[in-house]
Amino acid sequence: MSETPETPTVAVFRPDDERIEDAVSLLEEFGTDPLPDPMLAVEPTDATPRTDADYVVFTSKTGAELVSEAGWEESGETVCAIGPATADALREEGYAVDIVPEEFTSSGLVATLANEIDGARVEVARSDHGSPVLLEGFEDAGAYVHETVLYRLVRPKGSGESATLAAAGDLDAVCFTSSLTVEHFLEAAAERGVRADALEGLAEATVGVIGAPTAETAAAHGLDVDVVPDEATFEALARETLEAVRRARE
């Protein structure tokens, strides 16, 4: 429950590592009462990208860290990152990053590479829940596409406090950072027997999502989305969600 009527309670679902710590710190800076409720846990596969690719695409900070831990070494590939956070993580692990799209989304990366990958071998290294947009887009551009699953994303045991609060009407906003966080939130709500009430609670709250694919997933599950930032970063999502909360209170 909010500390004061003026302090919005905002649920955040990032993995239970420095990402949720950073998200909580940011939300506190923005003047909220954050509710951390991790909806993702990482299970590494210890796999590494294929060695015969012309392009290797990474879509997350986690993927960058895991390939480094698994001992992957560059061998002349064009290394692509879906956005600046992934690019920074790759560079921190000692990898050179050649391409980052102007639009930090799967479709943005497809658009950036579409005119240069006809006949090329493109390796997509990511989680087991990646959007089909990358694979289909690269194939449509004429590339030979292979996907390597670097890690699996599962729902942590004990998650779902946010669903209970939503069901009670005690959440002002939520920040969904992937389609899977939406699905895991609803799974946790069902597990606690409050799915219908949680959906009703979110109908009265401000629902922010990080991009169009997450918005589509939310809508498919009956959630009304209020905020989709132009920039697919958590900072933009948090800022715009809080702005929407404050506008709703005026």
Q: pLDDT tens digits, residue range 166-185?
A: 999 999 999 999 999 999 99
DSSP codes, 10-53 = EEE---TTHHHHHHHHHHHHTT-EEEE----EEEE------SS-
In the beta sheet, which residues pair with residue 78? 55
Does residue 116 surpass a pLDDT of 50? yes
Considering only CA atoms, which of 58, 41, 38, 64 is closest in space to residue 176? Answer: 38
pLDDT band at 5 (very low <50, low <70, confident <90, very high): low
Please state the pTM of the whole predicted model. Answer: 0.74
Q: What is the pLDDT of residues 86-102, one digit of tens each?
A: 999 999 999 999 999 99
Residue ranges and CATH numbers for the domains of the chain are 9-40+156-249 (3.40.50.10090), 43-153 (3.40.50.10090)
Q: How far apart are CA 70 and CA 107, in angstroms?
A: 28
Q: What is the pLDDT of residues 61-70, one digit of tens each?
A: 999 999 999 9
Q: How far apart are CA 99 and CA 177, in angstroms?
A: 23
**N-terminal to C-terminal alpha carbon distance within the chain:** 20
The lowest-confidence range among 12-16, 91-95, 190-194 is 12-16
pLDDT band at 4 (very low <50, low <70, confident <90, very high): very low
Mean pLDDT, the chain, as a whole number? 93
The lowest-confidence range among 53-62, 94-103, 163-172, 241-250 is 241-250
Does residue 1 surpass a pLDDT of 70? no
pLDDT (mean) for 230-237: 90
Q: How far apart are CA 105 and CA 86, in angstroms?
A: 12
pLDDT for 52: 94
Q: What is the pLDDT of residues 74-83, one digit of tens each?
A: 999 999 999 9
